[in-house]
Amino acid sequence: MIIFRYDKTFEGLLTVVFDAYFRNVFPERLLNEREVAPLFAEDNHKAITDETKAARVWKGLQHKLSRGSCNMITHVWLSEQPHCDELIFRFIRKIFDNNQLMDTDFRDVDVLEMRQVARKVAVEAERVRQFVRFQKTVDGIFFAPIAPLYNALPLSINYFTHRFADQMWIVYDTTRNYGFYYDLKSATEITLDTDIHFPNGKLDDTLTDDSEKFYQQLWKTYFNSITIKERINLKLHRQNLPIRFWKYLTEKN
């Protein structure tokens, strides 16, 4: 079994592709530096992340694939599923090694799995856009914690940047401990102190603006007033609005 090791970044994975074709040796397993290699490993190459190599591979993929299929690759990477990097590597090999349009050949198990995983990530990104709720902090920044099933936050930042362009905000992934801060000009990736907690999916009362509770209560009153109790369908409601997002929604508290 041929093993390649890399730093588990997307640029590192593209560097692995470059090194594999350069060496004409194609790995069956992709590991990080600390993972134990399986028995009877024939090769153990370490791919050093190189932005130039990664850019060449990505440019080659853009030449052979549509924009949607390139996005599919990044979606699968953001899924963080076990061995998703090996799935992407096999997919990229098939794209480079075949003259046919392999990215739409759903008879291939890898192509089909790529499409299915990418769709799940896209759905989760849409849920992030739908179910984020901002809270105004004492310093005037609107803050929204979220914990998506996949690493879908980067796919939603352009939406927030355009939708809330007139206010400073932070959307923070509490599971992966990173987020994006918008300063009225651009969104920048940030990491907050680990001692900041989000009880029940909300900021602590000491960190919120004095008017925040008033507006939350106002929203709850509006939500309750427009609810038609006779038409409540809890099964359909849970299907369209997964319970794991409820703690972030003001109307559900």
Q: Are residues 158 and 59 in the same domain?
A: no
- Percent of residues, the chain, with pLDDT higher than 70: 98
Percent of the chain with pLDDT over 90: 67
* Same domain flag for 117 and 144: no
Q: What per-residue confidence (pLDDT) applies to 199?
A: 66
Closest Cα partner for 176 from 151, 205, 202, 143?
151
Does residue 11 contact residue 54 with C-beta atoms inside 8 Å? yes
Same domain, 151 and 113: no
Confidence band (pLDDT; 50, 70, 90) for 122?
A: very high
Q: How many CB atoms lie within 10 A of CB 190?
A: 11
Domain end among 124, 152, 184:
124
Q: pLDDT per residue over 72-94, tens digit each?
A: 999 999 999 999 999 999 999 99
- The mean pLDDT value of the chain amounts to 91
Q: Are 73 and 115 in contact (CB under 8 A)?
A: no
Phi/psi for 6 (5° steps) reads: -155, 180
Question: Does residue 193 share a domain with residue 239?
Answer: yes
Q: Domain check: are 177 and 113 in the same one?
A: no
Lowest mean pLDDT among 109-113, 172-176, 178-182, 193-197: 193-197
Task: Dump pLDDT digits (tens) for 125-166.
Answer: 999 999 999 999 999 999 999 999 999 999 999 999 999 999
- What DSSP state is assigned to residue 42? -
- Structure-derived torsion over alpha carbons of residues 87, 88, 90, 92, reported in degrees to the nearest 10: 160
Structural domain count, the chain:
2
143 and 244 together in one domain: yes
Query: How much is the pLDDT for 207?
Result: 82
Q: pLDDT value at position 237?
A: 87
> Which residues in 99-117 are b (16+ Cβ under 10 Å) and which e?
eeebbeeeebebbebbbeb
Mean pLDDT, residues 200-209 taken together? 80
Task: Give the DSSP H/E element, type plus range, for residue 43.
Answer: strand 43-46
Is it the case that residue 194 has pLDDT exceeding 80? no
Indicate whether 153 and 108 sit together in one domain.
no
Q: Which residue has the higher pLDDT, 28 or 34?
A: 28
Same domain membership, residue 157 and residue 236: yes
Give per-residue pLDDT as tens, 48-65.
Answer: 999 999 999 999 999 999
User: Does residue 185 share a domain with residue 116?
Assistant: no
pLDDT given for residue 26 in this prediction:
94
Last residue of a domain, one of 70, 98, 124: 124
3-state secondary structure of 142: strand
Residue 250, pLDDT > 90, answer no
Q: Are residues 8 and 95 located together in one domain of the fold?
A: yes
Domain that holds residue 222: 132-252
Please say which residue of 124, 147, 172 terminates a domain: 124
Sheet with 135-136, side-by-side order of all strands: 135-136, 142-146, 169-173, 178-182, 187-190
Do 182 and 240 lie in one domain? The reply is yes
